[in-house]
Amino acid sequence: MVQNRQNSLRESDASIIKRNQVVLFFIFALVVSSVFAIPLLLSIYKVIPVELPGVLGLIASLGSSIAAVIVASLSDGKTELRKLWGGLKKWRVHPLWYLFAIFSNTAMILLAMGLFALFGGSFPSISEKLPQLLPIAVFLTIQAGLGEEIGWRGFATPKLQERFSGLAAIFIVSGVWLVWHIPLFFVPGGLQANIWNKIGFLPAVAFYGVNLIAQSILYTWSYNSTGGSVLMPIFLHGSLNWSAWFLSMNDIPLMGMIPIVLFLIIEVVVAIIIVIVSGKDLSWDHVKSG
């Protein structure tokens, strides 16, 4: 009798967690990352008399994917974890999707930097960075792509799309994703902090939020159109970061705000075209069937 009652309680708890997976995921993602990010920030600003290692920031960047694994394990362990793994091992997609995932952000950044140079700016030198390109591209694809996209696109987005359209899911995820990024605005010398220094805190948050929505449209469209391959958002996210580093777009003290503003305009235009063409469900299947 006692054993039956315990089993019933476990099943009830699992059922509650399963019904609230997305909310719990958002909470865990914010909490897990904050547990590592906030002490590091307090250390950087010498609020606490301890110099903490920068690796805490790296761990904080993995918070969303850690949260996805935790919530999946608590709700329906094997089944949910298999779903997460299924998205990661879905590599058999059309080669054009790999080209899109790896090079679309690079192409948009190149266009932004080209326009900047065309109207009087200087195109950055890349020769010194070239030997470091491959290792940094691999690292950033793992750290930013794999570290975040298992959670945002591999877990939260498909569950939200069970109830909402792909476009609605994007706005929900992007809102939490923006809050998750707030600690980065306080990292001295970082991209978000440099934008803040140029245009003020609230405009910088709004600016970055628009970027996250545009990128989310690209990521979700590629995810949906490939039948749920998380590899596409992973490569897209990684390519954004390594391309911005390689072409110095995110080096605001060196390049100023114009290149990143041009990139924002370009990515927003591309995102709008994707929404118009693919519809609110954000899938290439809509285009083909339409």
pLDDT given at position 78: 82
pLDDT given at position 9: 45
Query: Is it the case that residue 4 has pLDDT exceeding 80?
Result: no
Summarised one tens digit per residue, pLDDT across range 127-180 is: 999 999 999 999 999 999 999 999 999 999 999 999 999 999 999 999 999 999
Range scoring the smallest mean pLDDT among 12-21, 65-74, 180-189, 240-249: 12-21
* % of residues, the chain, pLDDT over 90: 85
List Cα–Cα distances, 6 to 12, 77, 184, in angstroms: 10, 18, 43
Number of structural domains, the chain?
1
Q: What are phi and psi of 124, to 5 degrees?
A: -70, 150
pLDDT given at position 123: 87
Query: Is it the case that residue 227 has pLDDT exceeding 90?
Result: yes
Cβ atoms 196, 206 nearer than 8 A = no
Residues in Cβ contact with 93 at an 8 Å cutoff, skipping those fewer than 6 apart: 226, 227, 229, 231, 232
Gyration radius from the chain CA atoms? 20
Summarised one tens digit per residue, pLDDT across range 37-60 is: 999 999 999 999 999 999 999 999
Buried b (16+ CB within 10 A) or exposed e, 60-94: bbbbbbbbbbbbbebbbeeebeebbeebeebeebe
| pTM recorded for the entire structure | 0.92
pLDDT given at position 290: 44
- Quote the CA–CA distance of 118 and 195 in Å, as a whole number: 23
Element (H, E) at 286: helix 284-289
> What mean pLDDT do residues 56-84 have?
91
Summarised one tens digit per residue, pLDDT across range 13-34 is: 566 777 789 999 999 999 999 9
pLDDT given at position 289: 41
- 131 DSSP assignment: G
pLDDT given at position 64: 97
**In one letter, which amino acid is 247?**
L
121 three-class SS: coil
List Cα–Cα distances, 192 to 149, 205, 261, 272, 287, in angstroms: 20, 8, 13, 24, 36
Q: Which domain range does residue 246 map to? A: 2-289
pLDDT given at position 17: 77
